Amino acid sequence: MPRPIRATLKASALRHNLKLARETAGEAKVWAVVKANAYGHGLERAARALADADGYALLDFQEAARLRLAGVTKPILMLEGFFRPLDVNLLFKYGLTPVIHNAEQVELIKHMDLPSELDLYLKVNSGMNRLGFGVDDLRPAYNTLRLHPRVGSITLMTHFADAEGPGGVHDQLRWFNELVHAFEAPRSVANSAALLRFKETREGWVRPGIMLYGCSPFADWSAEEIGLLPAMTLSSELIGVQNLAPGERVGYGFTFEAKEPMTIGIVACGYADGYPRHAGTGTPVLVAGKRTRIVGRVAMDMLCVDISDIEEAYIGTAVTLWGEGLPADEVAAAAGTVSYELLCALAPRVPVHEET
């Protein structure tokens, strides 16, 4: 028998969340963002469940090839364009739409005899200062590409730095609009947070990611309140039980000490499964469906939970690390990170159980 840990991935939740994204997007078309192995959910599996999207967005050429091999015929947006000149051949081989975000890429396309028409996205730096063209170089880049006889549609896109936070999208969107108002081109600006909270971003093509997987980008608006369903549940079982006397300690570094008699359960799940090692004492967890807390340090293959008040808990009792009944967003917050990181980190050694 394998270790009792497993990840349950629910296609019905992905479908539900995509439907909600679609309804929110109104007339806009939807790229389902499936980068990083569909946020840890398995690329082909997620793509199948998200088949109602208008296209898929990712950034790895191998992942793009996998989608084509799986029979995907919809558009695929390459969020970081291409990395080396030879990659341009792959754009045609697999029929991909690149995001052009630097001058080298423009130069390369300019001097290339493209084998057929190429639609592309042109990335505008509206303040995040990672990728894209700004006030000085946007127009020349656009004109160069526009003059190429084989370049088809050019969509102007940007990405928000703080759509989920206090900054919102206002300043970046205003700057983007100033930069692009003179261009007759379709647009793409919204990630999940912008799509959900700012209706002025629901235009052209929206690019939801995290919401499709049932997590919230916001600290102050939960996935449940939004109406999202968790697509990934990480669960395991107790494989040991210990009774502690006051003063006894637990785990590596002896970071937790019992103040009174208590019972702890040992869970078959550790950081080598993708559980965050930074999740300290107090991080929420479900044992036999009841909410309790992690105690001590997360190890490679195990972690410890307080089961003093869960009388039925014993070896073999079910544990939910995150997912149904316990939002990954809450576990992430307790571990000082975001649900994105938890989902993406699900380790290949964790057996996956698919539900339709």
Ligand X SMILES: *Cc1c(COP(=O)(O)O)cnc(C)c1O
Applying the rule CB under 6 A, the residues between 52 and 91 that interact with ligand X are 79
- The verdict on 210 binding ligand X (CB under 6 A) reads yes
Q: How far is the CB of 307 from ligand X (least distance, A)?
A: 35
Q: How far is the CB of 208 from ligand X (least distance, A)?
A: 5
Q: Which residues 6+ apart lie within 8 Å of 10 measured at CB? A: 229, 230, 231, 232, 233, 355
- The verdict on 207 binding ligand X (CB under 6 A) reads yes
The window from 168-176, 205-213, 237-245, 305-313 that contacts ligand X (CB under 6 A) reads 205-213
| Matching residue, tokens 């549609």 | 153
| Residue among 132, 204, 217, 327 that touches ligand X (CB under 6 A) | 217
The Cα–Cα gap between 160 and 96 comes to 23
SS3 readout for 202-256: CCCEECCCHHHHCCCCCCCCCHHHHCCCCCEEEEEEEEEEEEECCCCEECHHHCE
Nearest by Cα to 212 from 16, 58, 70, 7: 16
Q: How far is the CB of 213 from ligand X (least distance, A)?
A: 8
User: Active site includes 93?
Assistant: no
First to last CA, the chain: 24
User: Active site includes 213?
Assistant: no
Nearest to ligand X of 179, 313 (CB atom): 179
- The verdict on 208 binding ligand X (CB under 6 A) reads yes
Catalytic option among 35, 121, 142, 340:
35
How far CA 181 is from CA of 25, 72, 119, 195, 275, in Å, comes to 22, 34, 20, 21, 46
- The verdict on 50 binding ligand X (CB under 6 A) reads no
- The verdict on 191 binding ligand X (CB under 6 A) reads yes
Active site residues: 35, 252
| Positions that interact with ligand X (CB under 6 A) | 33, 35, 79, 159, 191-193, 207-210, 217
